[in-house]
Structure 1
Amino acid sequence: MDICVFLSAADLDERYTTAAHEFAELLGKGGHTLVWGGSDAGLMKVVADGVQAAGGRLVGISVEFLQHKARPGCDEMVVARDLAERKAQLLARADAIVVMVGGTGTLDEATEILELKKHGLHTKPVVLLNTAGFYDGLKQQFRRMDEEGFLPLPLTELVFFAEDAVSALAYLEESAGIR
């Protein structure tokens, strides 16, 4: 399965890097392909290193203005013209999406993917990996949106909140009929 992972390129605390490495190992050992922003920095590097070390494939989709941070030695590296094109290519190349911890860029990617799913423009499973409770506030907000009628489909059909790497990958594999 080709799994797009949205995440930070920042160097982060061990509570995030350990969880990211665990998820990466599961992806690689499961024979999955990581489709990601292509950066060789921060948490993106941690995940790419883990997937590659565990035998998985790497498909990076960088962007022109960040090409200098692109990871060498990928199975495939694409350079998009801008962020909008990169997001479109990431979605097109993925069978499923995982949103890990990140900043405004990650949040932008996550909300766009969810908006497209809400409108039926894709049906791919989406997981928010809630490492160390990072997305607790967002989870609460989504529940409120669901309860107050702001979502045209139930929250459970839009996104799955996983508390750990094992449940995130199990959900994706079950959704794809792999288990």
Structure 2
Amino acid sequence: MASIGVFCASSQRLDQRWLDLAHQVGVEIGRRGHELVSGGGCVGMMGAVADGARDGGGRTYGVIPQSLVDLEVADTKSDELVVTDGMASRKTMMIERADAFVVLPGGLGTLDELFEVWTTATLDLHRKPILLLDADGFYAGLVGWLRGLVDQEFVRTSALAMLLVAGDVTAALDLLEESLLR
């Protein structure tokens, strides 16, 4: 069993397809016997992925800052819920706990988490797989821009190669599991 960290949107105003995607990812994580490491929220895609993991028979480990607990958005159904003093310590704990990462569609917070976990990997602070789930081409523009950074030598080819990309849930989890075996 691996601990899979998922970064995603917590917005409550999302199109249902994104909530369904998050739920499907959670179900697949649980069904495959993995533990979900989440941002500890019960709203938006974050809540959907946690519910999905439990629906799939998986264990959930949430990490949430006290400020969000105070807003009553904590995933109180989590098997284990750790409360931190802020967003930075939340990210650090999630990175330490997870064996691999899946990045679902999201906004600024999700991108912050992606770049933090990816940057620390390029600095060889960890060797954990990072997968971008590019459902419906959500991240196509970002991936194209990143390839352009490689062409201009702002980003090393080896760094870009660390970022796995898959277009659907099954391919994403297959690729992640394959990467964990290396």
Normalising by structure 2, report the TM-score. Answer: 0.93
Aligned residues: 178
| In structure 2, distance between residues paired with 1:156 and 1:110 | 13
Which residue of structure 2 aligns with residue 41 of structure 1? 43
Which residue of structure 1 aligns with residue 161 of structure 2? 157
Find out whether 1:94 has 2:98 as its counterpart. yes
Find out whether 1:10 has 2:11 as its counterpart. yes
Which residue of structure 1 aligns with residue 140 of structure 2? 136
Cα displacement string for residues 89-130 of structure 1 (whole angstroms, at most 9, x for unaligned residues): 000000001111111111111111111111111110000111
| In structure 2, distance between residues paired with 1:153 and 1:77 | 38
Q: Which moved more, 1:11-20 or 1:28-37?
A: 11-20
CA contact (8 A) 1:17 1:43 kept: yes
List 4+ stretches of structure 1 deviating above 6 A: none
Unaligned runs of 5+ in 2: none
Task: Give percent identity, aligned residues only.
Answer: 39
Shift of 1:26: 0.8
1:2 partner amino acid? S
1:176 partner amino acid? L
Which residue of structure 2 aligns with residue 22 of structure 1? 24
Which residue of structure 2 aligns with residue 31 of structure 1? 33
Q: Which moved more, 1:48-57 or 1:153-162?
A: 153-162
| In structure 1, distance between residues paired with 2:157 and 2:114 | 17
Unaligned runs of 5+ in 1: none
CA contact (8 A) 2:27 2:52 kept: yes
Cα displacement string for residues 6-65 of structure 1 (whole angstroms, at most 9, x for unaligned residues): 011113212212222221111110011000100011111111111101100000000011
| In structure 2, distance between residues paired with 1:166 and 1:155 | 24
CA contact (8 A) 1:8 1:102 kept: yes
What's the C-alpha RMSD, in Å, of the aligned pairs?
Answer: 1.4
| In structure 2, distance between residues paired with 1:120 and 1:144 | 23
| In structure 2, distance between residues paired with 1:123 and 1:58 | 22
SS at structure 1 position matched to 2:41: coil
1:120 partner amino acid? D
| In structure 1, distance between residues paired with 2:126 and 2:43 | 29
| In structure 1, distance between residues paired with 2:160 and 2:106 | 22
CA contact (8 A) 1:35 1:93 kept: yes
Normalising by structure 1, report the TM-score. Answer: 0.94
